[in-house]
Amino acid sequence: MYPYGHTLWQYLLTWRLASNPMNPLLPALFGSQSAAQVLLFLQNYGEGHARRIATTFDVPHMAIQRQLRRLEDAGVLVSRKVGNMREFVWNPRSATVKDLRVFLETELGRLPREVTEAYFRQRQRPRRTGKPQ
Give domain status of residue 6, yes or no.
no
pTM of the predicted model, to two decimals?
0.75
The torsion of the CA quartet 97, 100, 106, 109, rounded to 10 degrees, works out to -60
Residue 65 lies in a domain: yes
Within-domain flag for 124: no
pLDDT > 90: percent of the chain: 48
Q: What total of structural domains would you count in the chain?
A: 1
Residue span of the structural domain in which 84 resides: 26-114
Q: Average pLDDT in the 20-31 region?
A: 79
CA distances from residue 70 to 42, 66, 73, 120 in whole angstroms, order as listed: 15, 6, 5, 23
CATH number at residue 76: 1.10.10.10
Q: In degrees rounded to 5, what are phi and psi of residue 77?
A: -120, 160
pLDDT digits (tens, 9 = 90+) for 61-85: 999 999 999 999 999 999 999 999 9
